[in-house]
């Protein structure tokens, strides 16, 4: 990825913050490295990135073994909010919502898909 794109990617992730209750986002490489983040500083993004890549990859293998194709996106609901994962350009876009927010899940997914298209052109 070109250095010029790093700032554009950061800007794109930041534009998602606040929409549909989004707390922040991570762009994670397949090996779990964090490419970019718009999450608050108090969150351990390195650990979150590594675990997110592992989680997505393991679920992708399970989906394939069930003959259901390849995993493209997934949503996890926790007592702390939503984690939404979207595969884009060989990377994972991980979106976290803020705690105690009413979330329009359809709107969140649509926003992530739209920004994912733009993001794909930046990282390819």
Domain ranges of the chain: 3-123
> What's the pLDDT tens digit per position in 41-84?
999 999 999 999 999 999 999 999 999 999 999 999 999 999 99
Q: Which residues have CB under 8 Å from 33's CB, separation 6+?
A: 49, 50
Q: Which residues have CB under 8 Å from 98's CB, separation 6+?
A: 21, 22, 23, 81
How far lies 120's CA from each of 28, 65, 70, 89, 91, in Å? Answer: 13, 27, 18, 5, 9
Of 2, 27, 1, which is closest to residue 13 (Cα–Cα)? Answer: 27
This prediction's pTM: 0.92
pLDDT at 51: 97
Q: Note the CATH architecture for domain 3-123.
A: 2-Layer Sandwich (3.30)
Q: Measured on CA atoms in the order 70, 43, 8, 35, is the torsion positive or negative?
A: negative
> What's the pLDDT tens digit per position in 12-41?
999 999 888 999 999 999 999 999 999 999
Task: Tally the C-alpha atoms within 13 A of residue 6's C-alpha that lie toward its C-beta.
Answer: 7
């Amino acid at each position: 990825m070109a250095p010029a794109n790093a700032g554009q990617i950061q800007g794109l992730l930041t534009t998602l913050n606040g929409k549909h209750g989004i707390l922040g986002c991570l762009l994670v490489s397949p090996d779990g490295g964090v490419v970019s983040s718009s999450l608050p500083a108090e969150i351990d993004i390195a650990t979150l990135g590594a675990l997110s890549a592992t989680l997505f990859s393991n679920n992708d293998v399970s989906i394939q073994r069930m003959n259901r194709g390849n995993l493209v996106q997934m949503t996890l609901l926790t007592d702390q909010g939503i984690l939404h994962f979207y595969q884009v350009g060989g990377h994972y876009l991980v979106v976290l919502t803020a705690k105690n927010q009413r979330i329009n899940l359809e709107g969140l997914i649509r926003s992530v898909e739209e920004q994912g298209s733009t993001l794909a052109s930046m990282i390819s």
